[in-house]
Amino acid sequence: MSKSADSHLEQSAFSAFADNFNKALEGIDWSIVPPAKDNASAQAVLPELTLTKDDIEYNPSRPWERQVTKELHEGPVDKAEKINWITNTADGYDAAVQAKKAIVMVFGENGQWSQAMNKELDKDEFQRLSNQAVFLKSTPSTDLVAANIGKALGVDHYPSISVLSPNGSMLDEVGRIVGYFDAATVASKVGEYIAKVNLGLQAAGAQVASSATAEKSVAA
């Protein structure tokens, strides 16, 4: 293939991409750009812009062009691991105590706001906490253990999310969220409460280790 033909293909590819990009710019919803004195802080939501096989004229002598297009469409997607919700409160609480992991109890019934909260909890922002605790969905009206725990904690509004330490001898609530909030807000607060639980567990573990060392020293 001649250099002029090759150059023509590159110009065609660039022209197609430029047209696609210009169309994307036209699709920006500038009404959502917040007013700001500093233009650098202004943000807009850009429509998704991806290359397709029609955006680049395929050149047989340069097969990597088609491969690049394939990678754009088939690249890995970062998905949050899903939370394994436990609906039997007794089983879930016992599992958390055995695993020495924080307990996240979501108290709710079949009302409008409990259902709305469940939708938020299904979003990736919250699901990213999946490995950090044992998660329970507790319905006091059908789960006696959930009802008793809720009564002991004074939970009287749904939805409510309680984060507890995995204490097998007493209820040790670290924090609570009462009412409906978006996924990001809930994830942030629950994450803070889980971190407090973990700090407590670490401190308790260090104290046990220190006591064991002291006993050995006395015995020696």
Q: Cα–Cα distance between 91 and 118 in angstroms, integer?
A: 21
Quote the tokens at residue 216.
């050995």
Burial class (CB in 10 A: 0-12, 13-18, 19+), 147: middle
Q: At 38, which amino acid appears?
A: D
Res. 168: pLDDT tops 50: yes
Residue 211: what pLDDT? 58
Neighbours of 198 (CB within 10 A): 16
For the chain, helix (H) and strand (E) counts, in that order, are: 7, 4
Q: Are 50 and 73 in contact (CB under 8 A)?
A: yes
Residue 205: what pLDDT? 72
Q: Cα–Cα distance between 83 and 122 in angstroms, integer?
A: 8
Q: Are 97 and 134 in contact (CB under 8 A)?
A: no
pTM: 0.61
Across the range 171-186, mean pLDDT stands at: 96
Residue 53: what pLDDT? 43
Residues 6 or more apart from 80 whose CB is under 8 A from it? 124, 127, 128, 130
Specify the range with the lowest mean pLDDT, choosing from 47-56, 72-81, 139-148.
Answer: 47-56
Dump pLDDT digits (tens) for 92-148.
Answer: 999 999 999 999 999 999 999 999 999 999 999 999 999 999 999 999 999 999 999
Closest C-alpha among 178, 194, 79, 83 to residue 137: 83
Q: Cα–Cα distance between 29 and 67 in angstroms, integer?
A: 33
Dump pLDDT digits (tens) for 19-35.
Answer: 665 665 565 554 444 44
- If one compares 117 and 40, the residue with the highest pLDDT of the two is 117
Q: pLDDT band at 218, cuts 50/70/90? A: low
Residue 204: what pLDDT? 80
What residue spans define the domains of the chain?
3-74, 89-219
Please give the CATH superfamily to which domain 89-219 belongs. Answer: Glutaredoxin (3.40.30.10)
- If one compares 43 and 210, the residue with the highest pLDDT of the two is 210
Residue 13: what pLDDT? 55
Q: pLDDT band at 81, cuts 50/70/90? A: confident
Q: At 5, which amino acid appears?
A: A
- If one compares 156 and 37, the residue with the highest pLDDT of the two is 156
Q: pLDDT band at 73, cuts 50/70/90? A: very low
Dump pLDDT digits (tens) for 179-196.
Answer: 999 999 999 999 999 999
Measured CA to CA in angstroms, residue 40 lies from 35, 44, 159, 189 at distances of: 11, 11, 40, 30
Q: Are 121 and 64 in contact (CB under 8 A)?
A: no
Res. 59: pLDDT tops 50: no
Q: pLDDT band at 4, cuts 50/70/90? A: low
The average confidence (pLDDT) of the chain is 76
Neighbours of 219 (CB within 10 A): 6
Q: Cα–Cα distance between 213 and 165 in angstroms, integer?
A: 25
